[in-house]
Each structure stands twice: as C-alpha cells, then as structure tokens.
Structure 1
Amino acid sequence: MKDFRNRVAHDYVNLNMFVICDVIMDKLPSILENLEDLVATEISNKNFILEEYQVCIRNRFYKHVKFDKINFKIR
C-alpha cells in the first residue's frame, strides 16, 4: 500500500489509469474490510491502545472507516 501511494503521489506522469481504477474499485474495499478486522482483533487482544482508537474515531481523516462495524466486532 505504501508503494502504491508513493507511485500515485510522486510518479503520476507514468501512471496507468486502468490500474488505478482497478485498485480503487476492486481491491480497496477488501483491503479496508481486512483492516477493520485487524483493528477489531488487535483491540480485543489488547495490542492496540483503546484511547488511541477513540481518538481515531473523532478524526476527520478516518471518516471512511466503518467504526460501528469495528465496535460490533469488539463486543
């Protein structure tokens, strides 16, 4: 993911828009779901600081994350 971000941010001249579209439309939803599962698991296992998670919930940069889904998995 980091490498993909770097290509989009720094090598936009040589980007293949079909690849970008494929990643956004086909890959990103499953990546997001996997990340939500990972965060829920890490919070449940006490490997993630709950206070930091609560700060993330209020952060506008994470508005695309389905925190209600994560909260449901934690309980």
Structure 2
Amino acid sequence: MGENAGKISESTRTAYPIFPWKQVRGLRNRIAHDYTGIDFEMVFDIVSRHIPPLKIAIEKILKEGLANGFFDKSECNAAQNSIFYRHIDFKRFI
C-alpha cells in the first residue's frame, strides 16, 4: 500500500484529500529504511486499527474512479487476472 501511495497521481490525491496519502507513504519509508528504529507496537496498532478503514476507503476510491472513468479499467482487469493480486476481492469495487 505504501509503495503504491507514492505512485498515485496528484489529481487523485487532490480528489481524495481525506485519505492520508503522505502518512501511508511515510510509514512505508520508515519501515523500509529504518530497521532498528521501528516501534513494533506502533506498527501493530496501525495495522490493527487503521488498515481496515483504509482498505474500505481505497475500495471506495477505486469504485468511484472506475465508475467515473477516472481510472483505467483495462489496468484493473489486468490486475484481476494477475497471480500477484489473488488476495484482492475485485468484486467489491468493479
């Protein structure tokens, strides 16, 4: 999630300002680059309490974006057919 948050277009970030794009990316960078300074209890708290609502928000963004032609449906279809995204229930937002 953190890696892809950095790849989101400025127009998408602007369209969904309530989503914490910067914080998601920042946590990813902190975990990826500061192995000795990670507060594991904080990370557990984030994963336990904050990821579930973020997942719902991402599904909403994808659903709206696909419905309004903001996102490319062919990319979504390619992801749906990829072995790397089998854990995602695409029916929730397509």
Q: TM-score, normalised by structure 2?
A: 0.69
Cα deviation digits, residues 29-58 of structure 1 (max 9, x gap): 111110011000001101111101101112
Report the identity percentage.
24
Backbone CA RMSD of aligned residues: 1.3
Q: Which runs of 5+ in 2 are unaligned?
A: 1-23
Tell whether 2:92 aligns with 1:69.
yes
State how far apart, in whole Å, the 1-side matches of 2:61 and 2:86 are: 17
Corresponding residue SS for 1:46? coil
Q: How many equivalent residue pairs?
A: 71
Matches within 5 A, 1:1-75: 1-71=24-94
State how far apart, in whole Å, the 1-side matches of 2:48 and 2:25 are: 18
Q: TM-score, normalised by structure 1?
A: 0.84
Corresponding residue SS for 1:48? coil
Q: Which runs of 5+ in 1 are unaligned?
A: none
Q: Which has the higher contact order (CA 8 A, sep 6+)?
A: 1
State how far apart, in whole Å, the 1-side matches of 2:53 and 2:87 are: 13
- 8 Å CA contact retained: 1:37, 1:70: yes
State how far apart, in whole Å, the 2-side matches of 1:62 and 1:24 are: 20
